[in-house]
C-alpha cells in the first residue's frame, strides 16, 4: 500500500507499506495508514518550519549586519566626504585672510570659498535627511505607500537631481497589508538607489499594478547603461552584489518572485511578482520552478 507525502504543490516523498499476507490491507487498515501518512506530512512540515525559522533568524542577523555596513559606507561616501571638504575650504579661506586680509582679490576669493562652503553644507544636510528618511519613512506610516514612494521621488530630485516617475494603482492598496507595503517601499528604495548610483539614467520609473486576481507586479525600470545580469549573478553566492542580494531577500520576505532584465546599453528592469494569497504564491513558485 502506498501513501504520497504531499501538501498542495509540495511533494515530500512516499510511504510504502508491504505485508506477506494477501489482502492484508483492508479498508480499515488503509484508513489507519492514511492517518499515519497525514501525521507524517505534518511532522515533516513542522521540521522544515523549524529549520526555516532558524535560517530566517540567521538571515535577519546577517541582514542587520549588512545594513550597518551599508549605513557606514553611505556615511563615509556622502556626508563624511562633504564635511571633510567643508573643513578644507574653511582652512583655505583662513589662509587667504592671513596672507592679505584687506586686498580686494583676497576678499573675492574668500567670498567664493564661503559660497562653496555654504553649498556643500546644504548638500550634506540634504544627504543626511535623505538617509534618515530611508531609515524610518514617516510618510509610509502616516500617509501610506503612494505618498512614501512619491517622497522617494521628490527627495531623489531635490538631493541628486535624479528624475523618478511613480505610477501606482491605488486600488491595490486595500489588498496590501502594512507589512507588505513596507517591504515594497524598501525594495523601491533599494532599486532606485542602485539605479541612481550605477545606471547613469536620465529617468527611473516605479510602477505598481495588478496582473491578475491575487497577483501584483512591482516594476522599477531605468534608461541607463544596463549591465550583464549573468556576470553579476555569478558573484551572488559570495555576496559580491549586495544590491541584488537585498532585492532578492526582501522579495522573499513577502513570498515574492524577483526577475531582473538588463543588458549593456539597454537599461534595467527590476520586476517583483507579489502574490496576495497562499494559493497564488504556490502557483507562482511552482511555475517558476518548472521554468
Q: Please check whether residues 108 and 186 belong to one and the same domain.
A: no
The highest-confidence range among 72-81, 241-250, 259-268, by mean pLDDT, is 259-268
At 154 the pLDDT is 93
Average confidence (pLDDT) over 253-262? 92
Query: CATH code at 183?
Result: 3.30.565.10
Instruction: Give the chain's domain count.
Output: 2
Domain that holds residue 71: 1-135
At 243 the pLDDT is 75
User: How many CB atoms neighbour CB 115 within 10 A?
Assistant: 11
Interatomic CA distance for residues 205 and 191, integer angstroms: 11
Q: Which tens digit of pLDDT belongs to each residue from 13-71?
A: 888 888 888 888 888 988 998 898 889 989 998 888 888 887 777 777 666 666 666 66
242-253 and 27-75 helices cross at what angle (nearest 10)? 140
Q: Which tens digit of pLDDT belongs to each residue from 169-191?
A: 988 988 998 888 888 998 999 99
Q: Please check whether residues 184 and 100 belong to one and the same domain.
A: no
> Is pLDDT of 240 > 50?
no
Cβ(284)–Cβ(215) under 8 Å?
yes
How distant is the alpha carbon of residue 177 from its chain centre?
Answer: 17
Upper half-sphere CA count for residue 240 (Cβ side, 13 Å): 10
The CA-atom distances, in angstroms, between 220 and each of 155, 237, 258, 262, 269 are 17, 24, 11, 12, 6
- Of 102, 135, 168, the last residue of a domain is 135
Amino acid at each position: 500500500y502506498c501513501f504520497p507525502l504531499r501538501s498542495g504543490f509540495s511533494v515530500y516523498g512516499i510511504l510504502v507499506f508491504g505485508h506477506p499476507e494477501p489482502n492484508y490491507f483492508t479498508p480499515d487498515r488503509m484508513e489507519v495508514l492514511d492517518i499515519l501518512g497525514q501525521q507524517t506530512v505534518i511532522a515533516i512540515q513542522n521540521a522544515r518550519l523549524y529549520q526555516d525559522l532558524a535560517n530566517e533568524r540567521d538571515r535577519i542577523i546577517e541582514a542587520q549586519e549588512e545594513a550597518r555596513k551599508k549605513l557606514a559606507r553611505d556615511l563615509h561616501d556622502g556626508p563624511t566626504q562633504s564635511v571633510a571638504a567643508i573643513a578644507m575650504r574653511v582652512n583655505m579661506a583662513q589662509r587667504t585672510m592671513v596672507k592679505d586680509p584687506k586686498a580686494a582679490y583676497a576678499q573675492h576669493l574668500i567670498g567664493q570659498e564661503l559660497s562653496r562652503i555654504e553649498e556643500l553644507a546644504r548638500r550634506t544636510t540634504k544627504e543626511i535627511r535623505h538617509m534618515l528618511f530611508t531609515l524610518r519613512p514617516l510618510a509610509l506610516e502616516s500617509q501610506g505607500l503612494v505618498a512614501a514612494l512619491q517622497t522617494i521621488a521628490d527627495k531623489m530630485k531635490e538631493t541628486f537631481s535624479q528624475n523618478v516617475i511613480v505610477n501606482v494603482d491605488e486600488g491595490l492598496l486595500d489588498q496590501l497589508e502594512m507589512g507588505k507595503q513596507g517591504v515594497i517601499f524598501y525594495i523601491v528604495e533599494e532599486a532606485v538607489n542602485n539605479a541612481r548610483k550605477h545606471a547613469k539614467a536620465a529617468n527611473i520609473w516605479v510602477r505598481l499594478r495588478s496582473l491578475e486576481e491575487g497577483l501584483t507586479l512591482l516594476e522599477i525600470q531605468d534608461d541607463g547603461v544596463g549591465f550583464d545580469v549573468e556576470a553579476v549573478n555569478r558573484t551572488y553566492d559570495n555576496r559580491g552584489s549586495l544590491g541584488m542580494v537585498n532585492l532578492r531577500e526582501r522579495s522573499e520576505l513577502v513570498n515574492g518572485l524577483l526577475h531582473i532584465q538588463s543588458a549593456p546599453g539597454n537599461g534595467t528592469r527590476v520586476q517583483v511578482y507579489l502574490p496576495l494569497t497562499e494559493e497564488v504564491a504556490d502557483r507562482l513558485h511552482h511555475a517558476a520552478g518548472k521554468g
